[in-house]
Amino acid sequence: MQGFNKYYPPDYDPSYGSLNSYRGKHALGDRARKLDQGIIITRFELPFNIWCGTCNNHIGMGVRYNAEKKKIGNYHSTPIYSFRCKCHLCDGWFEIQTDPKNTRYVVVSGARQKNEDWNPEENGGFAVHDTEGTAGPVDPLAALEKTTDAQNRLTKVEAPRLESLQALSEHYNADPYTLSSKIRKRFREVKKVEQQKQKADDHLKNRYGLPASLSLLEEDEATIKEAKKEWERGQRELAANKNSKRQRLAVDIISIPSSSSGSSSTAKAQSSHPIDSLRARILENTARQAKPFIRSATGTSNITQLNVAKK
């Protein structure tokens, strides 16, 4: 970790400004040894493969050198830099410059570049760096017509649209206090109605013991009709269940087997089993109330049996 504390000697004079000025050194150190010539030492990486012109050895792309960087000119407002490097395989020097016009690097001296360019025009593409104007001469009448169409569109379409948008903005932003008051008033009215509805729903849930998480529908004509239909359907199902239960009970009573010994044996069995006889009598009475004309297991109707019992 770099230390932040600096040693100031006893004879240090603040008029020098900084310690580098006091000691006569540059902040970049040895990299600025040729700064008086406009050269600064920087780290440069080869952008492509080259062959050294001195030793004729191949140097691969990406090899880094401590290059002498120098500004040698401008292309419009973009500076052109030169990088002078010493080959690490020999004592030869080679120089590479930037080419802002074609956005690339160019070998100037001391080496030759390996030609690996791919021409898109030869493969059915378009030129990537087409700095020269290949378009034909501009037709002045066509340019004038285009300018006239643009002006017409500006005056007939875009300007009225902008005016309408500005008028709308002024309408909504002319009196913000009044608009805000209307919005707050509407919000309070809606909130009051919702609170009343919530209070009525909670009262209904507490009255019938409904769960609090149950959401109730709004009471309108369609909901009332649907609820009425569901209630009528439930009543019909309840009546049908009662009738079917009575019919099953009557069939069970009819299917009770009778003894072959006649009335004497029946009386004897009833006297021997009083609980069974009481159960059978209750079932027979229930069957008579449901269907009074059903015949019993002995072949006589319930009314005939009742008259015999009375005699």
Q: How far apart are CA 98 and CA 106, in angstroms?
A: 6
Percent of the chain with pLDDT strictly greater than 70: 78
pLDDT at 135: 56
For residue 134, pLDDT over 60 is answered with no
pLDDT band at 127 (very low <50, low <70, confident <90, very high): low
For residue 286, pLDDT over 80 is answered with no
Write the burial class of residue 266 (CB in 10 Å: 0-12 exposed, 13-18 middle, 19+ buried). middle
For residue 179, pLDDT over 70 is answered with yes
For 209, residues 6+ apart whose C-beta sits below 8 A from its C-beta are none
For residue 145, pLDDT over 50 is answered with yes
b/e map 34-58, b = 16+ CB within 10 Å: eeeeebbbeebebebebebbeeeee
Higher pLDDT, 195 or 138: 195
148: amino acid identity, one letter:
T
Mean pLDDT score of the chain: 80
Q: How far apart are CA 65 and CA 19, in angstroms?
A: 30
For residue 21, pLDDT over 50 is answered with yes
For residue 260, pLDDT over 50 is answered with no
For residue 11, pLDDT over 90 is answered with no
Averaged pLDDT, 277-299: 67
Averaged pLDDT, 92-98: 95
Report the SS3 class of residue 150: helix
78 Cα distance to chain centroid: 45
Tell me the C-alpha to C-alpha distance, in Å, between residue 218 and each of 102, 194, 200, 207. 74, 11, 11, 18
Q: Which two tokens stand for residue 9?
A: 């000697």
Tell me the C-alpha to C-alpha distance, in Å, between residue 15 and each of 12, 40, 100. 9, 28, 43
pLDDT at 273: 63
Q: How far apart are CA 213 and CA 139, in angstroms?
A: 77
Higher pLDDT, 270 or 20: 20
Q: How far apart are CA 289 and CA 236, in angstroms?
A: 22
pLDDT band at 297 (very low <50, low <70, confident <90, very high): very low
pLDDT at 130: 55
